[in-house]
Structure 1
């Protein structure tokens, strides 16, 4: 009821009118949490996790002093055992000099740039995820057509959905590991991630592009990148990225922050975005649009990051795919 009162006073804070929570299914499945005290210390010393009341154990590399808790999480058609442990973070640098930025997308999952002279931008291939989602949507539609009238879900659909999520999660770990390793090799102390508030709800890229963009869980990737960076002492900054894709980096266009008072106002930039992921500057130079956006995210967060000029900035990227393993799903 407090939420409804707050909604009436400040509706802009909510995505919609708050609803009363539903009752839990009495025959449903629920999260089970085991504290460290409920885990066999003898088994931990042998490199195994043995939970109180269960007659099986699991191999682990977690040390007894680092173990926090173990959770049994119900998923669509299975249970997942999560081991929560503490790991010491490296101290982050107080200075912000060596900076990198990423722009998140679909065909190019990540566009990575840096203010380090001579660094060649990197585009991380997003087509494996796009292909996986297309397969999933087609297979899901096919299976749903086979369901009897009045039924909307089945065990095969649960299995298909779980496998899709596992493949996405695996690819995200590959991508985030590759990204953090690259940042460490460059001695980067700060990473800027472009992200707008409610970007999935307000995106307007056309029907097909909207479906592709919203079906890729970018927040999941951001979380993986963020915690892995923090463990290695790299500071992570999230920056709103309005107008970064249409402003010209090569022409040093000023990049405003989107706000209601300038909505509908005419804002002009030096360059123009072309089809097929290209951007043309005022001088006619054509660069990759995702690289242009990533550079703009960087200088929007740190306007003095290119104090020595942008003349030596490399704008021709290289495409990488962190893993070549087969991404096609199966039912």
Structure 2
């Protein structure tokens, strides 16, 4: 076994603290990654606090991982020692069901995807531990190639925030001529703006905060609508082809669905603690749709990383020491970050 240092929540509502544990030895198809940076996702906070249920403690969060490979298994073909690599939200799946065969491992129909943390390995049943740690062992099939042309710390959030917004934009074939609304300008929202703009769409940020307009336009948005302003909201009624909804708070979906054109689609990415409600007439009247999307498959995640390297797209981050993670969680709850915290693992 490989001794590893990390930070963990020992129980629900207990602050994260230093935690020593062990990883499995590097198998024939595995790579060992010395982690350099790990992004802090809002889902880390949800799971540490068991807000979605089923949390496994002790928990080492983190699924936006980048670093350098220090060891490879005998049968590894995609990577060599010294390569930069990334790990996103999953580290395994059944590999044989229709979804896995189609490269949509996040929708695995047999075992379900194995999360990078707060999940269990398929064979051993051992809990998975994430990237708030100095090393991780991952099968090469679930490991991503990372370009050396981008700022590595700013690449880390692409492994979740990036792919979570890229996947629906690709699935619904967003391209020049489309009008895309982005609800929420946080970790996911700011990536949706950058990616949709790079794909050639007209991008509008829908926000309750007027003071975010300058930031939205600097990120690439063409328009900004203050949703508390009835006149501004009215100006984009029946306007959008797509709305990327990144909001995890409770809100009146009907207000935003009515901004969709006929045959428009709202894609839900955020997960409110309570189920949203909407009247059927809001959908029926203009043949509108509400859909959902979950991260992306391994091939699509690699495609996203390559796209970002080609277009020089990275997350806007605040780099923190790992000892400051509990304070970062509190700031994240207040929306006090532009737009993603990233842990410098050298501070572990």
- Give TM-score scaled by structure 2 length: 0.21
Q: Which protein is richer in strand relative to its size?
A: 2
Q: Which protein is richer in helix relative to its size?
A: 1
Structure with larger Rg: 1
- Give TM-score scaled by structure 1 length: 0.22
